[in-house]
Amino acid sequence: MAKQMGLMGLGCFIFMMVALQINGATATTYVVGDSLGWTVPPNTSFYSDWSSSKTFHIGDEVVFNWTGNHNFAEVSSLAEYENCTNPGIVFGPGIKANLLQNGSRFFICTVDDHCEAGQKVIITVGSPTNTSPAASPAPSSLSFGVVFTVLTSMVGYFFA
């Protein structure tokens, strides 16, 4: 009987691990601006309209693709974003920004007046009330869920 209970516990453990892996594998890659890409937009609200039409989750990533004379920079605050403040560190095309925590991230182009013309975007994961990025990534609930499931299953297996 105890051996049968142990096997049931092991079976539940395997089922939970598979379920968590399937649930955790739903990350999405977004190309900023979709088919337009990262360029001077047709209007200053283009990228804010684009980002507000998406629901970003922890684990997703955004890709900045462009041709021509553009770049990509991340600024650290809403004020720097609104003022198109050049952070001094810029990147080339094809850069992926991994979304590892809830909060807002602020991206701009620092070439000429591109930012002022609307080539900037705010990517918000979770509640839009947080207008500055968190200092360090918070552990995801998936990690806690995996650890909890493993420990619970092991305890059940050994005490069954």
Inter-residue contact 101 to 138 (CB < 8 Å) = yes
Inter-residue contact 127 to 98 (CB < 8 Å) = no
* Range 146-158 average pLDDT: 44
pLDDT surpassing 90 at residue 130: no
The span from the CA of 95 to the CA of 61, in Å, is 10
* Domain ranges for the chain: 2-159
Inter-residue contact 16 to 157 (CB < 8 Å) = no
Give 127 or 65, the one with higher predicted confidence. Answer: 65
Give 139 or 73, the one with higher predicted confidence. Answer: 73
Digit-coded pLDDT (tens) for 7-25 = 455 444 444 444 444 445 5
The span from the CA of 128 to the CA of 135, in Å, is 17
Give the model's pLDDT for residue 158.
45
Residue 160 pLDDT level (bands cut at 50, 70, 90): low
If one counts every other C-beta atom within 10 angstroms of the C-beta of residue 46, the result is 18
CA distances, 67 to each of 28, 64, 80, 92, 120 (Å): 23, 10, 25, 10, 16
* Mean pLDDT, the chain, whole residue set: 77
Give the model's pLDDT for residue 92.
85
State the pTM of this model.
Answer: 0.66
* Fold designation for 2-159: Immunoglobulin-like (2.60.40)
Give the model's pLDDT for residue 126.
86
Share above pLDDT 70 across residues of the chain, in percent, rounded to a whole number: 63
User: CA torsion angle for 141, 96, 116, 118 (degrees, to 10)?
Assistant: -80
